[in-house]
Structure 1
Amino acid sequence: MKLKTLTFAMLSLAFFMASFTVQAQEKKREPNPEKMLERMDTDKNGTISLDEFKSVKRKKEMDAEVLEANFAKIDSDSNGELTLEELKNQPKRKGKTNE
């Protein structure tokens, strides 16, 4: 009986830890608009220009055309600059959920 209880407790703990880890990883992947603005706004004027957006070092190399298309999707007022509000309202990546 003790062995069954111990086994159940260990399995429960393992399941809890696995689900906690997955949640932490998902949260970590969500973009933080404030940090994005701080990192990309090299001239510190409170907005991100297309040149600033394209000059940011990324984990994956991206073609200029892809970056320009991504910038245009986020730039909802089409003024050529990204504001904090536009970063907060940017379209979600495919495969992500709004939770």
Structure 2
Amino acid sequence: MTPRTILTFALVLELTAVTISDHPASGVATLLLTLLAAGYAWSCWAFPFRPCPSCKGSGRHVSSGLFRGVQLCKRCKATGLKLRRGRAIYNALHRHRTRTRRNR
């Protein structure tokens, strides 16, 4: 570590300590936001799919026409599931990271 890096870390710690001690509600808000983000990340890992909003998870829907036939859902390709946005973002970041790394 260079002296500049150590100085930067010390400054960040000092500013953080001053900010949290001056405003205790900001520390609680930071903790709650961190817990909320961690909970959403865990739920995206544990349950990567959500019900399709078009067919409501059934994979098919009744068409609106004269004969009202049952059609397969085009939005989810008849699976009834859609990938959650958080999981899609994670997958994109993971693909980017693995494709741009150098071979070591």
Per the TM superposition, whether the score is higher than 0.5 is: no
TM-score by length of 2: 0.30
Higher strand fraction (1 or 2): 2
- Normalised to the residue count of structure 1, the TM-score between the two structures is 0.31
